[in-house]
Amino acid sequence: MTDPLRNLPAGIGRVLFTEAALRQRVNELGAQISRDYIGLDPLVVGVLKGVMFFMSDLLRAITVPVSVDFMAISRYQSGSGAKGPVRLTKDLEDPVEGRHVLFIEDVIDTGLTLSYLLRNLRVRDPLSLEVCALFDKPQQRIAQIPLRYRGFELPDRFVVGYGLDYREAYRHLPYVAEL
């Protein structure tokens, strides 16, 4: 359903990042990563599903050779609606021992999801482990995350689009908007 007055989908608020703004920042991140990883043949790991558009645009902005893999997680939702523990539902295909791993996330909020994944990967002895997140929402941070590359800082608001969902809706929007 479309809101006929604004030509935006129902439930969508203010557009915070247009396609052009996202493209420009993602290209900058890709250039930065390309400079930092010359000769390192990094393994770029995306966390599904929210990362899909960011990851595909970022990879196309990276000019050094990379390998690509994905992890997927699901979170048990507690009765109160609070975020529950994380469970790995898809693991990497190959070992990361001796590899330079670059983790790609859509949003870091409390940091609990990513700290679980980072702990899980650290014990597999990668040569290095860095994090690139499109959005950083520092206000609710519980677990400290070593964030090497950050697209944008966000206030404590829920946003959707460009891969980010609300209950699986709105992922397909090419821009990022408030809910």
Conformational region of residue 82, where left means phi above 0, alpha means psi within -120 to 50, and beta covers everything else: beta
Which among 17-25, 33-41, 55-63, 111-119 is the span making contact with ligand IMP, rule CB under 6 A? 111-119
Which residue from 134, 143, 93 is spatially nearest to 115, judged by alpha carbons?
143
- Lookup: tokens for 158: 């829920």
Query: Is there a catalytic annotation at residue 57?
Result: no
Let me know: does 76 contact 103? Beta carbons within 8 Å.
Answer: no
Q: Which of 22, 55, 62, 107 binds ligand IMP (CB under 6 A)?
A: 107
Residues 96-125 that bind Mg ion (CB under 5 A): 106
Alpha-carbon torsion angle 27, 32, 38, 44, nearest 10: -70
**Residue 90 binds to ligand IMP (criterion: CB under 6 A):** no
Q: Residue 47 CB, nearest distance to Mg ion (Å)?
A: 5
Write the binding mask 45 to 74 for Mg ion: x where contact by CB under 5 A, - elsewhere: -----x------------------------
Q: How open is the CA angle 136-141-145, to the nearest 5 degrees? A: 70
Q: Which of 27, 32, 34, 110 binds ligand IMP (CB under 6 A)?
A: 110
The distance from CA 155 to its chain's CA centroid, rounded to whole angstroms, is 16
Q: Which of 45, 71, 96, 109 binds ligand IMP (CB under 6 A)?
A: 109
Q: Which residues bind ligand IMP (CB under 6 A)?
A: 50, 105-114, 158-160, 164
What is the set of active-site residues?
109
Q: Which residues bind Mg ion (CB under 5 A)?
A: 50, 106
